[in-house]
């Protein structure tokens, strides 16, 4: 039975056309599924009864099933969501005074093997489907009471105002399904989010950055983590295929269509590895031709990692060097670490097809890209 959460509006229009239905049916169903959070065709009161019966026979609206729901002392909430065959992914909601951010996953595990993310301990299993990606937003809206009511003005403040694809996995390695989910996030018949408030994070898949620019340009965050190729080759192995010069060029191209006039560079600070004054100056030189801002993330430790978090003074000094060069640099305040929902701590449950988890057991982590949910930014 087909899961209608797998379709963006264009796909749903085509599905209805195959059944002799007019295009407006796709808009109707999108509103009921996504805006109103309905999973029962019988509740869709402006849809003809005969069509409702046909839909119930041929299709379903099936969101992810939660295995665990954890809430941290700071209000951060994390769901472990079942995606079948012993696999589960994590989704995190981060409430703040002026916004609510949902961090969602795009893969079960990740195959990019960055060296300081807990997801990497579990290896990689598969890409998430469109339904499994958008289903995380669908589920969070329902649980948080953020769904709209038919016939009621929905122009008020949103519970989930921002979505970031910074959870488990590399979004651009699953671009087709991610793009369909992005189109639903932006569609006024679904979630109606602004392009500026939807962010995709990548470790640097250059061809996919260009494809995203041409198909669904949203805000872009790049997991940088090193100011030179030698160090980045070690920390972010995809750099060996797409080195920094190519990545910076792709960032400049992306800005031609991006909804924001800057790229966000994410930079996890690792004590004694990439956090020196020299590293900060090299970082400025590297990014001098790319309008950007920096999110500095002091490393969040997890079992099996040999990396350490820098001192607060070292973080402050690194930030100061960037800001003295008139570059915006924020430091993320750790959120949700009490429930392992902070930057770099998402792991979920992965039936590893790569056998990397077994190979790395008891050894220094050689895992996946950095998983960086948006957290509160602290300006100096």
Delimit the domains of the chain by residue range.
Answer: 2-60, 65-378
Amino acid 318: pLDDT: 98
Query: Which pLDDT score, from 0 to 100, does residue 153 have?
Result: 57
Q: What is the pLDDT of residue 301?
A: 82
Alpha carbons 358 and 250: distance in angstroms, whole number: 35
Give this prediction's pTM. 0.89
- Assign a CATH topology to domain 2-60: DNA polymerase; domain 1 (1.10.150)
- Res 295: pLDDT: 97
pLDDT at 122: 72
What's the pLDDT score for residue 378?
Answer: 32
CA 270 to chain centroid = 22
pLDDT score recorded for residue 151? 58
Which residues of the chain fall short of a pLDDT of 50?
A: 339, 341-345, 362-380
Cα gap 37→26, rounded to integer Å: 15
d(CA 83, CA 174): 16
Give me the pLDDT at residue 53, please: 97
Per-residue confidence (pLDDT) for residue 348, from 0 to 100: 64
Active-site position among 21, 90, 96, 132: 90
- Angle (CA) 145-151-157 rounded to 5° is 45
Task: At 161, list the tokens.
Answer: 């105002």
Residue 266 near residue 223, CB atoms below 8 Å: yes
CA-CA-CA-CA dihedral for 170, 327, 257, 164, to nearest 10: 30
> Would you tell me how many other CB atoms lie within 10 Å of the CB of residue 352?
18
Q: Is 90 a catalytic residue?
A: yes
- 377 catalytic? Reply is no
Q: How many of the other CB atoms lie within 10 Å of CB of 355?
A: 9
Catalytic residue among 114, 117, 251, 343: 343
Q: How far apart are CA 79 and CA 99, in angstroms?
A: 19
Confidence (pLDDT) at 131: 98
pLDDT in the model for residue 380: 29
**pLDDT score of 332:** 82
CATH fit for domain 65-378, picks 3.30.930.10, 3.20.20.70, 3.90.1170.50, 3.40.1360.10: 3.20.20.70
């Amino acid at each position: 039975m087909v899961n209608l959460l797998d379709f963006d509006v264009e796909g749903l229009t085509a599905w209805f056309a195959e059944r002799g239905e007019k295009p407006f049916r796709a808009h109707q169903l999108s509103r009921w599924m996504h805006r109103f959070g309905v999973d029962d065709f019988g509740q869709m009161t402006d849809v003809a009864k005969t069509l409702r019966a046909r839909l119930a026979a041929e299709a379903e609206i099936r969101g992810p099933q939660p295995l665990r729901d954890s809430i941290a002392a700071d209000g951060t909430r994390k769901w472990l969501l079942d995606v079948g065959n012993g696999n589960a992914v994590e989704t995190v909601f981060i409430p703040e005074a002026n916004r609510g951010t949902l961090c969602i996953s795009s893969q079960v595990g990740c195959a990019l093997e960055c060296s300081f993310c807990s997801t990497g301990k579990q290896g990689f299993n598969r890409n998430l489907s469109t339904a499994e990606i958008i289903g995380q937003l669908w589920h969070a809206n329902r649980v948080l009471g953020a769904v709209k009511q038919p016939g009621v003005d929905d122009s008020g403040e949103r519970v989930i105002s921002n979505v970031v694809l910074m959870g488990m996995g590399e979004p651009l390695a699953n671009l087709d399904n991610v793009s369909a989910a992005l189109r639903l996030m932006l569609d006024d018949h679904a979630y109606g989010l602004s392009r500026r408030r939807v962010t995709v994070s990548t470790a640097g898949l250059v061809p996919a950055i260009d494809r995203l620019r041409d198909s669904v340009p949203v805000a872009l965050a790049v997991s940088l983590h090193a100011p030179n190729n030698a160090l980045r080759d070690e920390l972010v192995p995809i750099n060996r295929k797409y080195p920094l010069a190519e990545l910076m060029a792709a960032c400049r191209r992306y800005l031609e269509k991006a909804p924001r006039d800057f790229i966000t560079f994410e930079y996890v600070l690792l004590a004694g590895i990439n956090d020196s004054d020299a590293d900060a100056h090299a970082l400025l030189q590297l990014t001098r031709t790319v309008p950007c801002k920096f999110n500095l993330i002091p490393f969040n430790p997890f079992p099996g990692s040999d990396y350490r978090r820098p001192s607060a003074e070292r973080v402050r000094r690194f930030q100061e060097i960037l800001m003295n060069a008139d570059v915006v640099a924020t430091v993320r305040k750790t959120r949700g670490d009490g429930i392992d929902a902070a930057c770099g701590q998402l792991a979920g449950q992965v039936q590893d097809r790569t056998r990397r988890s077994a190979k790395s057991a008891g050894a220094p982590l050689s895992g996946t890209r950095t998983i960086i949910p948006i957290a509160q930014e602290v300006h100096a």
